[in-house]
Amino acid sequence: MSAAQGRKLRAGLIGLGAMGRNHARILSNLDGVELVGIVDPAGDTTGTLRAPVVPDLSALLAMGVDYAVVACPTALHEQIGLELAANGVCALIEKPLAQSVEAARRLVEAFEGAGLVAGVGHIERYNPALQSLRTRLEAGELGEVFQVVTRRQGPFPHRIADVGVVMDLATHDIDLTSWVTGREYTSVSARTVSRSGRLHEDMVAAVGQLSDGTMVNHLVNWLSPLKERSTVVTGDKGCFVADTLTADLTFYANGAIDTEWEALRAFRGVAEGDMVRFAIPKREPLLVEHERFRDAVEGKESDIVTLRQGLRTVQVAAALLTSASDGSTVNVTNLPVTDAAATA
């Protein structure tokens, strides 16, 4: 699905919430792309958008678009996505792919069946700190990986009403953990609570295991005034700490020099190793995500998050909710994807 030679790709946007406005900002300035229309029933409430705002998807489709970015509430992803696929329009769908495994599977089947490029907006994959971390893990800089621990907490987002913290926030951690390690989850266990008076859970503590035996811990909530986004990977040679709020990546080497000063031993330990904060280029992750997806629509080789990968993340998230509901440890090794041959 590439644009005709010499013309820009025509893009549409569905949803003008907090994330949708960021998508609009990027699409309005993206090389090789023209933002031709935006769908939002409320219209343009700011008067600052460069593209016309229309009330429904049919009006956007009438404008003629090569691809659309789906940034409406998660509960609408399936309906919107299936209509885009039926009309031959490629789609970048915000995470999570859908609010249920069944809905996510139907989206995979629809876009694959139509032969259309489609991806999921798991933006953390494009965070400079995590990109550098993945490259360093692949190069063996940590040796054998023992554990991945993520902490993702902050104040309650009033914009989210249709899913809980597992589907909204923890899907970030599920996807990034599998991606940076190159390993699939094999089992998960979780506990959740709801303290804000909403229908859905607003805190989760999860434990999991990856296919190589790596242990995983996720702590995610909407209940903290402290905003934290950290990924700590511990292994044979030390640990990496990625802060995705600042896009900083730090390496703490295992102790190599004995600490003989008794006063220091009391709080630094008996040995110290090098600590390195890497200098890495810091491009905006959302811009990189859009560039990769644009390239994929143009038929170029590009690293996007496929719908099958998005489905797998939804499956693991659903397993966390099952575990929290019945207290079980859920095996996620052989969860079915679709009847078609897996490509991701």
pLDDT tens digits along 120-136: 999 999 999 999 999 99
Angstrom distance (rounded) from CA 114 to CA 116: 5
β-bridge mates for residue 207, sequence order = 189, 217
Per-residue model confidence (pLDDT) at position 163: 83
- Are 180 and 137 within 8 A, CB to CB? yes
The CA distance from 108 to 85, in Å, is 10
Whether 147 maps to a domain, the answer reads: yes
Same domain, 64 and 190: no
Specify whether 117 is located in the same domain as 132.
no
**Is residue 134 assigned to a domain?**
yes
Residues 157 and 264 in one domain: yes
Q: What is the pLDDT of residues 214-259, one digit of tens each?
A: 999 999 999 999 999 999 999 999 999 999 999 999 999 987 666 6
User: Using CB atoms within 10 A of its CB, is residue 193 exposed (0-12), middle (13-18) or buried (19+)?
Assistant: middle
Is 331 inside any structural domain? no
What CATH number corresponds to the domain at position 175? Answer: 3.30.360.10
Bridge partners (DSSP) of residue 238 are 235, 253
Backbone angles phi, psi at 47, to 5 degrees: 75, 15
Q: Same domain, yes or no, for 97 and 60?
A: yes
Q: Is residue 129 located within the same domain as residue 98?
A: no
What pLDDT score was predicted for residue 2? 47
Q: Are residues 261 and 147 in the same domain?
A: yes
CA distance 154 to 177: 20
Q: Are residues 166 and 224 in the same domain?
A: yes
Q: Give yes or no for residue 260 having a pLDDT over 70.
A: no
Q: Note whether 238 and 294 are same-domain residues.
A: no
The whole-chain average pLDDT of the chain stands at 91
For range 40-59, the mean pLDDT = 87
In this structure, the answer to whether residues 97 and 178 fall within a common structural domain is no
Q: Rounded distance, CA 289 to CA 124, Å? A: 9
Q: Is residue 310 part of a domain?
A: no
What does pTM read for this prediction? Answer: 0.90
Please name the residues in contact with 326: beta carbons below 8 A apart, sequence gap of 6 or more: none
**pLDDT > 80? residue 267:** no
Residue 198's pLDDT is 78
Q: In this predicted model, what pLDDT tens digit does every residue of 191-211 receive, in sequence order? A: 999 988 778 899 999 999 999
pLDDT band at 284 (very low <50, low <70, confident <90, very high): very high
Same domain assignment for residues 43 and 57? yes
Which residues form the domain of 166?
Answer: 125-283
CATH number of the domain within which 68 lies = 3.40.50.720
Residue range 254-270: average pLDDT? 65
Tell me what pLDDT residue 340 has: 33
Residues 266, 130: one domain?
A: yes
Task: Tell me if 336 is assigned to some domain.
Answer: no
CA angle 111, 10, 298 (to 5 degrees): 60
Q: Alpha-carbon distance 163 to 74, whole Å? A: 7
The Cα 189–Cα 166 span in angstroms is 12
pLDDT of residue 197: 78
Q: Give domain status of residue 49, yes or no.
A: yes
What per-residue confidence (pLDDT) applies to 338? Answer: 40
Split into its structural domains, the chain has a count of 2
Nearest to 87 by CA among 104, 120, 63, 54: 63
CA 115-117-120 angle, to 5 degrees, is 130
Q: What's the average model confidence in pLDDT over 56-60?
A: 97
Average pLDDT over residues 306-331: 97
pLDDT at 48: 76
Residues 6+ apart with CB under 8 A from 4: none
Return d(Cα 147, Cα 50) in angstroms, integer: 46
In a domain, 308, yes or no: no
Residues 39 and 64 in one domain: yes
Residue bearing tokens 């933002």: 35
Band (pLDDT 50/70/90 cuts) for residue 264 is low
> Quick check: 47 pLDDT over 90?
no
Q: Kindly state whether residue 314 falls inside one of the protein's structural domains.
A: no
